[in-house]
């Protein structure tokens, strides 16, 4: 896992990111899949949203390309269409209060093993917006993180065969971390957003508020009715279940859901150790993948929203250990 500390304006943050990989001898655009005419047309159609509402995202992408010396157009096309044209991003999120009243949010990130050398753990301190620490498979966008206000969010992606013009999952997580101080603020922002992809966002804040938000271009459903909340790569609410994909390899999403249901059916309070046990697969299938299939749990993280430390496992937690990382904003 690459570890980066990035500070400054969007362009400066991007430049630092791109330069880091250039110094590793990596041209970022050469690592990306070949673009298609359809993805190019989609990117052009969605750019106006970013230019209008989140121009900092485009500035940061330009900075990455400048710092890396890679193809800015290819990078932009990949990032703005990611999660709309990708079907191999999977994960599990869990959140609940522990016996001290601390809110915990844990996430296993399941993705392609071939891309592991590119994955990054970042601390980002923008000149405008909240500082945060998070993890990503593809720079700029984020898949989980916590910001200086004690607001955390984790992504579970859901593939949609229909393509909609809007912001995609990884960019949404990035925007929420940088602009929201609480779950309520994040929900309000999501309701105003033009969303292009399908996903579940598991969110929590240091006041003890938490939510699972199932959202797509068509609808948003908010789930807050249980002591311990969890999400996998499928919608579970009656309103959103019709939008679940069919005939997609979702890396055992249904089996992971059953594991969470069983693990927490008699639990109202989490503990750090029990949450680790669940994420490590000790309470049922959650990360016990055969790496030969090309996918695995590539990192696992637990955010304590009332502490300045996170538990981070670089790799599959059934084989690797969690380390304590002190958050320094």
**Residue whose C-alpha is closest to residue 316's, from 292, 287, 290:** 287
Q: Average of pLDDT values for 313-318?
A: 97
What tens digit of pLDDT does each residue of 188-214 get?
999 999 999 999 999 999 999 999 999
What tens digit of pLDDT does each residue of 231-281 get?
999 999 999 999 998 888 788 999 999 999 999 999 899 999 999 999 999
Residues 98, 167, single domain; the answer is yes
Residues 106, 46, single domain; the answer is no
Instruction: Give yes or no for residue 293 having a pLDDT over 70.
Output: yes
Domains of the chain: total: 2
Q: What is the pTM of this model?
A: 0.96
Last residue of a domain, one of 81, 111, 146: 81
Residues 179, 291, single domain; the answer is yes
Last residue of a domain, one of 27, 61, 81: 81
Residues 110, 240, single domain; the answer is yes
Q: How confident is the model at residue 30 (pLDDT cuts 50, 70, 90)?
A: confident
Instruction: Give yes or no for residue 94 having a pLDDT over 70.
Output: yes
What's residue 160's pLDDT? Answer: 87
Residues 219, 239, single domain; the answer is yes
Q: How far is CA 323 from CA 5, 84, 308, in A?
A: 18, 33, 14
Residues 262, 243, single domain; the answer is yes
Residues 307, 170, single domain; the answer is yes
Which CATH number is 184's domain given? Answer: 3.60.60.10
> Buried b vs exposed e over 159-190: b needs ≥16 C-beta within 10 Å?
bbeebbebbbbbbbbbbbbbbbbbbebbbeeb
Q: Average of pLDDT values for 154-181?
A: 95
Residues 71, 8, single domain; the answer is yes
Look up the domain containing 162 and give its range. 90-326
Residues 242, 291, single domain; the answer is yes
Distance CA 19, CA 68 (A): 5
Distance CA 323, CA 317 (A): 11
Residues 193, 284, single domain; the answer is yes
Residues 75, 181, single domain; the answer is no
Residues 66, 112, single domain; the answer is no
Instruction: Give yes or no for residue 87 having a pLDDT over 70.
Output: no
Last residue of a domain, one of 81, 113, 142: 81
């Amino acid at each position: 896992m690459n570890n980066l500390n990035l500070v400054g304006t969007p362009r400066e943050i991007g430049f630092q990111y791109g330069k880091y990989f250039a110094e590793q001898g990596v041209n970022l655009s050469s690592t990306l899949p070949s673009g298609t005419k359809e993805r190019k047309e989609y990117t052009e159609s969605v750019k106006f949203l970013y230019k209008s509402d989140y121009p900092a995202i485009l500035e940061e992408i330009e900075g990455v390309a400048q710092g890396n010396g890679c193809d800015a157009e290819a990078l932009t096309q990949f990032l703005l269409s990611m999660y709309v044209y990708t079907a191999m991003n999977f994960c599990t999120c869990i959140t609940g209060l522990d016996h001290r009243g601390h809110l915990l949010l844990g996430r296993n990130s399941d993705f392609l093993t071939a891309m592991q050398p590119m994955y990054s753990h970042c601390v980002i301190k923008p000149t405008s917006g909240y500082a945060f620490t998070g993890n990503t498979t593809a720079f700029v966008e984020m898949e989980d993180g916590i910001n200086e206000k004690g607001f955390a969010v984790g992504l579970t992606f859901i593939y949609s065969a229909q393509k909609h013009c809007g912001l995609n999952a990884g960019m949404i997580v990035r925007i929420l971390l940088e602009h929201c101080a609480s779950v309520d603020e994040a929900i309000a922002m999501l309701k105003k957003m033009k969303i292009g992809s399908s996903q579940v966002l598991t969110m929590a804040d240091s006041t003890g508020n938490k939510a699972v938000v199932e959202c797509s271009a068509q609808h948003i459903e908010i789930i807050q009715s249980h002591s311990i909340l969890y999400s996998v790569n499928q919608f579970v609410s009656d309103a959103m279940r019709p939008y679940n994909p069919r005939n997609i390899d979702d890396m055992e999403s249904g089996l992971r859901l059953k594991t969470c249901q069983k693990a927490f059916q008699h639990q109202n309070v989490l503990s750090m150790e029990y949450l680790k046990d669940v994420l490590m697969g000790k309470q049922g299938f959650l990360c016990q993948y055969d790496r030969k299939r090309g996918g695995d749990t590539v990192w696992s993280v637990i955010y304590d929203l009332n502490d300045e430390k996170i538990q981070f496992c670089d790799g599959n937690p059934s084989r690797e250990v969690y380390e304590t990382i002190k958050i320094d904003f």
